[in-house]
Amino acid sequence: MHTCMEGGAQLGTCLPNFYLLPDHQSMPLPPPLQLPCHPKLLQMSFDHEDQPGIHGVMLCSDHCGLYPLPALPLGSSGAAAASVTLGKPSTAAGSMPNIGAEEVATSVNKAGNESTACNGSTTWWRGSTMVVAGEKGKMKIRRKMREPRFCFQTRSEVDVLDDGYKWRKYGQKVVKNSLHPRSYFRCTHSNCRVKKWVERLSTDCRMVITTYEGRHTHSPCDDNTSCEHTNCFSSF
């Protein structure tokens, strides 16, 4: 698979890793994030030496390459979903950025049971809190809402993959046990609260970890810059 396109930060055009699923994980799952191209499910069967019966599952797009299926709950060992990639288990704790495999797992579980749309009036995570900022007398309302999260890896020269949506960076943070800062992005579309954050693997700086939180309330074409992808997005 050598589908990297020139000048490409196109999501899926670079070699992705993918998360491994236990054999019993049932498919399909609700499409967790709106990928730029209509994906097909591809199930690749191979045995992992430590976890026989585990399958790698990827999403395949007709002309945008392969997509990894976002991280999924693994029952008793959710962390394994994020720590085992490409059939190669990570050896050291912390070698994988702590983008929250457990949290992903929990999120997906909950997402299956509750409505967590972007306008979510219900939330699985402690509702909301209100915080009074002391200094300037401003009232801050920080919503402690968590949306379903999905993460995947791609091998890319650039940090930010073009997934068809328009993102605004709102923060960057150096995280512990990582050589590379994590960048935080928010969808610029009004009323869309989808966030993503991007960081590079400390153990392999070519690997980009992208985590999405929430679901878009619009098609990528609503973001003015992406109409070249029009053909891809019709039916998500």
Which positions touch DNA (CB under 7 A)?
A: 98-100, 126, 129, 131, 133-136, 138, 140, 142, 144, 166-177, 182-184, 188, 195, 197
CB 67 within 8 A of CB 58: yes
Q: How many degrees, rounded to 5, is the angle at CA 169 between CA 30 and CA 82?
A: 45
Q: How many degrees, rounded to 5, is the angle at CA 59 between CA 71 and CA 70?
A: 10
CB closer to DNA out of 2 and 138: 138
Shortest spacing between CB 55 and DNA, in angstroms: 28
- Quote helix, strand, coil % in the chain, to nearest 5: 15, 30, 60
Q: Read off the tokens for 131.
A: 């915080």
CB closer to DNA out of 122 and 128: 128
**CA 3 distance to own-chain centroid:** 21
Shortest spacing between CB 190 and DNA, in angstroms: 11
Shortest spacing between CB 198 and DNA, in angstroms: 11
Q: How many residues does the chain have?
A: 236
CB closer to DNA out of 19 and 167: 167
CB closer to DNA out of 26 and 224: 224
Shortest spacing between CB 195 and DNA, in angstroms: 6
At residue 26, the 3 state secondary structure works out as coil
CB closer to DNA out of 186 and 229: 186
Q: 191 exposed, middle or buried (CB, 10 Å; 0-12, 13-18, 19+)? A: exposed
CB closer to DNA out of 18 and 212: 212
Shortest spacing between CB 97 and DNA, in angstroms: 8
Shortest spacing between CB 5 and DNA, in angstroms: 21
Tally DSSP H helices, then E strands, for the chain: 2, 13
Could you tell me if residue 151 is left (phi over 0), alpha (psi between -120 and 50 degrees) or otherwise beta? beta
